[in-house]
């Protein structure tokens, strides 16, 4: 009688196997849910980081363009000139290039021999560490010279871009142009556009990751240039 009751009150092998199977199934469901939540949180964090990166880049571009300028303050003997200013925008793919002079330079050290003048460039650069990835970079030289499109240091402004496009509004014609050159002999000589339209598109995720690509993130703004005419020592 005692042995029979012991056998009836215990679990059979089939019951144990079924219980283990149910426990494993529930564990798999819980792991999948937690893993999905973790991936979603990482995705949201990455998108937020990309929006922050894009907004910071647009803020920097806007600040530089608003303070763009040209100067005709040259010595009588132009062979003695040490500074030449300009504003040149070229349409390229996937990112346009823009070189210009600006008053937006910041002095980070009290005794640095720099002013608020600087040479700025925006252009595309291939990421040396990731194949097929293009970054938007910013060149700055706090000491303007005769070549306003060279020198200085280059820093990455936005990573993995899809597009960086610029358009320039001519104040005399009211028409938008995809290029501008204040140093040329055509009607843009020694002039600045009144507005610059800036479009920046960031890739939301890696394109080569199958099934994990995200929609690109677009930023568009129009910047008004404050000083349109070239600076002179005296009115002429």
List, for residues 50-108, the tens digit of each pLDDT value.
899 999 999 999 999 999 999 988 776 667 777 889 999 999 988 999 999 999 988 77
Residue 34 lies in a domain: no
User: Is residue 205 one of the residues assigned to a domain?
Assistant: yes
Instruction: State pLDDT tens for residues 164-182.
Output: 999 999 998 999 999 999 9
Give 185's pLDDT tier (boundaries 50, 70, 90).
low
Residue span of the structural domain in which 101 resides: 52-224
**CA dihedral for 5, 6, 12, 15, sign (positive or negative):** positive
Whether residue 118 contacts residue 182, with contact meaning beta carbons closer than 8 Å, is answered with no
> Given pLDDT bands bounded at 50, 70 and 90, which one contains residue 3?
low
Question: Per the structure block, which two tokens stand in for 193?
Answer: 């556009």
* 235: its two tokens: 């009115």
Query: Which residues, other chains included, contact 226 with Cβ-Cβ below 8 Å and sequence gap of 6+?
Result: 66, 67
What's the confidence (pLDDT) of residue 206?
A: 46
Is 142 domain-assigned? yes
The reply to whether 32 falls in a domain is no
Query: 154 in a domain, yes or no?
Result: yes
């Amino acid at each position: 009688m005692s042995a029979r009751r012991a056998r009836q009150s215990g679990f059979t092998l089939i019951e144990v196997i079924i219980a283990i199977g149910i426990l494993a199934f529930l564990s798999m469901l819980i792991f999948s849910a937690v893993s999905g939540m973790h991936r979603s949180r990482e995705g949201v964090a990455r998108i937020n980081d990309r929006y922050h990166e894009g907004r910071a880049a647009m803020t920097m571009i806007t600040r530089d363009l608003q303070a763009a300028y040209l100067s005709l303050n040259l010595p009588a003997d132009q062979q003695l000139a040490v500074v030449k200013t300009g504003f040149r925008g070229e349409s390229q793919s996937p990112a346009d290039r823009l070189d210009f002079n600006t008053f937006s330079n910041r002095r980070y050290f009290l005794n640095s021999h720099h002013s608020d003048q600087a040479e700025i460039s925006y252009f595309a650069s291939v990421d040396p560490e990731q194949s097929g990835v293009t970054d938007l970079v910013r060149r700055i030289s706090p000491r303007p010279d005769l070549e306003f499109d060279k020198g200085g240091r280059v820093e990455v402004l936005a990573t993995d871009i899809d597009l960086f496009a610029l358009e320039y509004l001519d104040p005399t014609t009211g028409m938008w142009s995809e290029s501008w050159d204040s140093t040329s002999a055509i009607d843009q000589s020694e002039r600045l556009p009144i507005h610059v339209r800036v479009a920046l598109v960031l890739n939301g995720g890696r394109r080569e990751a199958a099934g994990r690509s995200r929609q690109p993130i677009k930023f568009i703004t129009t910047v008004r240039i404050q000083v349109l005419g070239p600076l002179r020592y005296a009115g002429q």
